A and B are shown apart, each in its own frame.
Chain A
Amino acid sequence: MRINLIGFGVIGKGFARALVRKRTWLREKYGFQPEVVSISDVTGTVVSEGGLDLEKTLSSVERTGRVIDCPGAEEMTGLEAIREVDADLVVEVTPTNVDTGEPGLSHMLTAMEAGKHVVTSNKGPLALEFKRLTETAKKNGVHLKFEASAGGAMPLINLANEILSGDEILSIKGILNGTTNYILTRMTKEGTGFESTLREAQELGIAETDPTYDISGSDTAAKLVILTNAIMGKNTTYRDVKIEGINRITPEAIALAKEDGYVIKLVGTVENGELEVAPKLVPMNHPLNVDGTLNVATFQTDLAGEITIVGTGAGAMETNSAILSDILSIFRNSRG
């Protein structure tokens, strides 16, 4: 299988590293021999029709941080690479944008129109244009898979759609953002204020320099939309979600909750067609009460009752567990 890799940040590099690490294992276990034929970032593209030497590309990008500085790189954009470099599948892992969905949206649409499968972790395009993307995939007879976009390593979409395919999923409740869960957990354990705990999380590299996207609830909302559409067959968008962030939570509120047997968690819920992201009082003995950067989601199903899954929501290797599983599923399907 030939792959165009679009985006070479934390997730893109993690993908290359995962392939290097698992090359022999993938061949022996599945007879799967993926070749990355192009890697693009915002600076340019490096191409090798016969398959790139991923270790060499990784070490040369490590030095300067830019794909254009790799030997033989061209000033070719990701979009051009998708159009011009022959491949079966595009891995789209560029930075997400929940306002326009770009550049990921154009990458995905162009890839599918060119008959290429798409595997992505990019939330923005899916949260904004889910229907258009899935219809484009259908029209062009290709797969669009995005397990990595919601819940990181937790196999939520595949769990619901494959393993629980006989159940109707009635509601989803979850903690889908590790950064906010870390901040709230620390505030609960240490009794600290929001601002100082956020600074601590930034120093540890858990929160971004600009943490708005996480703490405002936007990231959770984008993931909730993807889960709702993919699992419950809806056509919602990011704009349908009622969103409330965690920036007004006080240590006193957390202490009052604690005295009464509750913790405060940022929870995304979809129930009776309503999508909401808000801090909620969660009973201490409830399965959604997970600590630190962990994520968790509970499905209410018609036959199986409640099913809860806990896991790591972010991180290069964890996200690539989901990306690799999507690619393997396409590989198995296309072999019949």
Chain B
Amino acid sequence: MRIGLDIELKDTPGQLVRALEPVSRLGGNIISIVHIREELTKKGRVPVHLTIDIENDGALERIIKELGERDIWVSKVGEVKKKERMKVILIGHVVDTDLRDTIDRLNEIPGILVADMALSMPNPQQETSALMDIEVSRPEKAKKAISELERIARDKGLAVIKSLGV
């Protein structure tokens, strides 16, 4: 699982290395470190945001415990949900059949977000092709997004090309 950790370090040299050592020793894989020296907390500490991948809760608890023993404060711990991405192509009069409405109908479903879109319009008379990048919070949501897209496509006379596997 992926974990986000907000920690606070003493403003003295070498603190960041001291904080990272137990993370990697206990099997955590460090994904990112955001370290802003200029923005000290009210208590004069340096806030750092870590994102790590870790096997299980047990390892996480040990990391937090060790950080505490080293006088590194953990102010926030939370699981970071990994977002799934799914590509879909729509073919037809994608723009003329109210593209805004198509996107809204998808975005209204909890856990589904149209994150990006590329359009290719050869000329106004011909059909438009659109590549849609849809973000889903869980893999099951992909099915939901597809069935809503297929409903929209039926209403608007569009063809849908799904990704392999959904």
Interface residues of A, Cβ cutoff 8 Å to B: 173, 244, 248-250, 252-253, 255-257, 259-260, 262, 264, 267, 278-283, 286, 288
Contact = CB atoms under 8 A, between A and B. Distances in A.
Contacts, number: 63
Contact of B131 (A257, A279, A286): A257
A173 B162 CA distance: 14
Contacts of A280: 161-164
Nearest to B89: A253
B51 interface: no
Given A250-B129, A256-B120, A256-B129, A286 B164 contact: yes
A269 to B, nearest CB: 8
Given A250-B91, A281-B162, 6 more contacts: A248-B92, A253-B161, A260-B87, A280-B163, A281-B161, A288-B164
B164 A250 contact: no
A53 to B, nearest CB: 51
Contact of A256 (B89, B127, B163): B89
A253 B89 CA distance: 7
7 contacts: A249-B91, A252-B121, A253-B91, A256-B89, A256-B118, A282-B164, A286-B164
B163 A281 contact: yes
B159 interface: yes
B23 to A, nearest CB: 33
A267 B164 contact: yes
Contacts of A260: 87, 131
Contact of B129 (A252, A278, A283, A288): A252
A285 B127 CA distance: 29
Contacts of B92: 248
Contacts of A281: 87-89, 161-164
B120 A252 contact: yes
Contacts of A256: 89, 118, 120, 129-131
A242 B159 CA distance: 14
Contact of A278 (B87, B91, B128, B162): B162
A244 B129 CA distance: 17
Contacts of B14: none
Contacts of A278: 161-162
Pick the 8 closest A-B CB pairs, nearest first: A252-B120, A253-B129, A252-B129, A256-B131, A248-B159, A281-B163, A280-B164, A253-B89
A223 B119 CA distance: 35
A244 B161 CA distance: 10
